[in-house]
Amino acid sequence: MSAALEVSPPLLAKLTALSGDLSATHDLDLLLNRILSEARELASAEAGSIFLLQEGRLRFCYVQNDLLYPGSAPARQYVGEEMAVDQSSLAGFAAATGETLVIDDVYLLGPERPYVFNRSFDEASGYRTRSMLVAPLTTSQGRNVGVLQIINAKNAQGEVVPFGEREKLWVKFYAHHAAMAVERAQLTRELILRMISIAELRDPQETGAHVNRVGGYAAEIFEAWATARGAGAEEIKKRKDLIRVAAMLHDVGKVAVSDNILKKPGRLDAAEFQAMQYHTVAGARLFKETGSELDSVARDIALNHHERWDGKGYPGRLPGLEATWRGPATGKKGEESPPEARITALADVYDALTEARSYKEAWPESRVLDLINQERGAQFDPEVVDAFFAVYDLIQLVRGRFHY
Ligand code: C2E
Ligand code: SIN
Ligand code: SIN
Ligand code: FE
Ligand code: FE
């Protein structure tokens, strides 16, 4: 390594902090957005995209472009395009060979190169891609999970310039850590989808749409709640990701409830409802006590999402999770139930009331909002209700996104 390429200690610290932080992110969408932002920042680049390897092909999964889509909102245009893992494209070449490419101008690639630049994105958007850094996302075990493309380096004057050797080194290092984080997030997501599909097999109401909505609602309510409490942006980002995933698992304990109760078309009688209440305890038992942070939040939510602020919920203060279930005990009151569970409680009820169930019709929106207001300080934590109304427009966006 020449003197000019030596990595300075502050930069190394920054790289290490960035990549260490990545491993705490469980939600794949959030992770990809973050990887792109950080890699672009490292290389002062205007745009970038990520391809993930799916069923043997590279799929265009995420794109950021400061010029075309300014602001922090992830742009989803063009997402879904695919290419083969071979030398015919830039991303395919990087994935197939494991090499990082540095190209000064993609429109001036010599005919000796095996790959060609695909101009369809530029042609459709009017953007002009010039310099490019294409790094494979390869794990320590040498498994390729995708490709990171960083586009149009900018100098201090804001002019588009070629990427240097220095940026290549940084991005290569960063891409390696990003690959491990992606692999981990994919494994987590697969496991969760498997758990959910088992629950779905048992309970026709426990659909992917319901689960995604409750996760999305809980995440947005959490952000508003934590912001109102003065939490820091980094902490919020991390917890928001955890609560989204953990809230999706709030009802996995329903796998332990018998079919005749779970699938009953009418109202439940008292004995049946008590059997149903067991889903909170059963769910909590699925998550290891000394497991990951995700285990711990998922456990809190599964156990406590039917507790109430006024202490009239269930399952209540139990002697221990492993003891035989004998029905609900004295309810947990107020902040005895963890915040993630108090938030998911509202998200779950909002979804239960706004959607039809096998045992009841959907309620009109105004009636649902009336109930939430009425139950402020009774069924629901008042701060959580305030947070819900503060992000009510985002809640509607989530609802629209997961209506299928
Ligand atoms: P779910 O249908 O997702 O409802 C979640 C929670 O939303 C309920 O928790 C309750 O707090 C609220 N909720 C749902 N429908 C209504 C309603 O019509 N009015 C009001 N005020 N709140 C409502 P809960 O009661 O602990 O029930 C937990 C789960 O037990 C329900 O999840 C559902 O799967 C099942 N369940 C409850 N009651 C019945 C029933 O009468 N028949 C059947 N088949 N299942 C029921
Ligand atoms: C549900 O809310 O449980 C299912 C309804 C839907 O998928 O929209
Ligand atoms: C459902 O799965 O749709 C109802 C279960 C719940 O949210 O308690
Ligand atoms: Fe539940
Ligand atoms: Fe639910």
Task: Name the active-site residue from 168, 240, 254, 332.
Answer: 254
Residue 4: pLDDT above 60?
no
Q: What is the mean pLDDT of residues 114-120?
A: 91
Rounded Cα distance, 200 and 263, in Å: 11
**CA separation for the pair 195, 193 (Å, rounded):** 5
Residue 355: CB within 6 Å of ligand 3?
no
The CB of 403 under 6 Å from ligand 1? The reply is no
140-144, 160-164, 312-316: the lowest-pLDDT one: 140-144
Q: Collapsing DSSP states into helix, strand and coil, what is residue 35?
A: helix
What DSSP element (H or E) covers 47?
A: strand 45-54
* Per-residue pLDDT at 72 exceeds 90: no
Overall pTM surpassing 0.95 (yes/no): no
φ, ψ at 80 (rounded to 5°):
120, -20
At 234-287, the pLDDT tens digits run: 889 889 989 998 999 999 999 889 989 988 888 999 999 999 999 999 999 998
Q: Which CATH architecture has domain 203-401?
A: Orthogonal Bundle (1.10)
pLDDT exceeds cutoff 80 at 351: yes
CA of 349 to the centre of ligand 1 (A): 8
Q: Helix (H, G, I), strand (E, B), or coil: what is residue 7?
A: coil
In 3D, which of 58, 360, 367, 344 has the Cα closest to residue 213?
A: 344
Average pLDDT along the chain: 89
What integer pLDDT is reported at residue 33 of this predicted model? 85
Mean pLDDT of 357-386: 95
Average pLDDT over residues 212-217: 93
DSSP code string of 246-292:
HHHTTTGGGGGS-HHHHT-SS---HHHHHHHHHHHHHHHHTS-TTS-
Q: Which long-range contacts (CB under 8 A, 24 or more apart) does 224-229 make?
A: 224/387, 224/388, 224/390, 224/391, 225/339, 225/343, 225/383, 225/384, 225/387, 228/383, 228/386, 228/387, 228/390, 229/383
pLDDT of residue 333: 98
Just give the CATH number of 3-184: 3.30.450.40
Q: Is the CB of 359 under 6 A from ligand 1?
A: yes
**Ligand 1 atom nearest 264 alpha carbon:** 44
Q: Give me the residue spans of the domains in the chain.
A: 3-184, 203-401
Judged against a pLDDT cut of 90, whether residue 218 lies above it is answered with yes
Q: Bigger pLDDT: 64 or 149?
A: 149
Tens digits of residue pLDDT in 47-69? 999 999 998 999 988 888 888 87
φ/ψ (deg, to 5) at 84:
-80, 155
Is the model's pLDDT at 10 over the cut of 70?
A: no
Amino acid at residue number 237: K
Residue 74 has pLDDT above 50, yes or no: no
Q: How far is the CA of 371 from the centre of ligand 5 (A)?
A: 18
- Of all protein residues, the one whose alpha carbon is nearest to atom 1 of ligand 2 is 210
Is 254 a known active-site residue? yes
Token representation of residue 137: 């996302």
Q: In this predicted structure, what is the pLDDT of residue 205?
A: 67
Confidence of residue 73 (pLDDT cuts 50, 70, 90): very low
Single-letter residue type at 183? E
- Of the candidates 217, 200, 208, the one whose C-alpha atom is nearest the C-alpha of residue 340 is 217
φ, ψ (nearest 5 deg) of residue 321: -70, -25
Q: Tell whether the model's pLDDT for residue 3 goes beyond 50.
A: no
Burial class, 94, CB count within 10 angstroms (exposed 0-12 / middle 13-18 / buried 19+): buried
pLDDT tens, residue by residue, 161-173? 999 999 999 999 9
Q: 13-39 pLDDT, tens per residue?
A: 766 666 666 766 777 877 888 899 999
- State percent of the chain over pLDDT 70: 90
- Whole-number Å distance, alpha carbon 230 to ligand 4 midpoint, is 30
Strand partners, 161: 153
**The two structure tokens encoding residue 259:** 């079919």
Q: Is the CB of 267 under 6 A from ligand 1?
A: yes
Q: Are 279 and 331 in contact (CB under 8 A)?
A: no
Calculate helix-pair angle for 165-202, 233-248, nearest 10 degrees: 30
pLDDT at 296: 93
Q: What is the pLDDT of residue 1?
A: 43
Q: Are 139 and 95 in contact (CB under 8 A)?
A: no
Is the beta carbon of 139 within 6 A of some atom in ligand 2? no
Higher per-residue confidence, 314 vs 18: 314
Q: For ligand 3, pick from 249, 348, 402 the residue to mutate: most ligand atoms within 8 Å of CB.
A: 348
Rounded mean pLDDT, 105-126 = 91
Span of 12-26, 79-93, 137-151, 225-239 with lowest mean pLDDT: 12-26
Do residues 318 and 281 touch, judged by C-beta distance below 8 A? yes
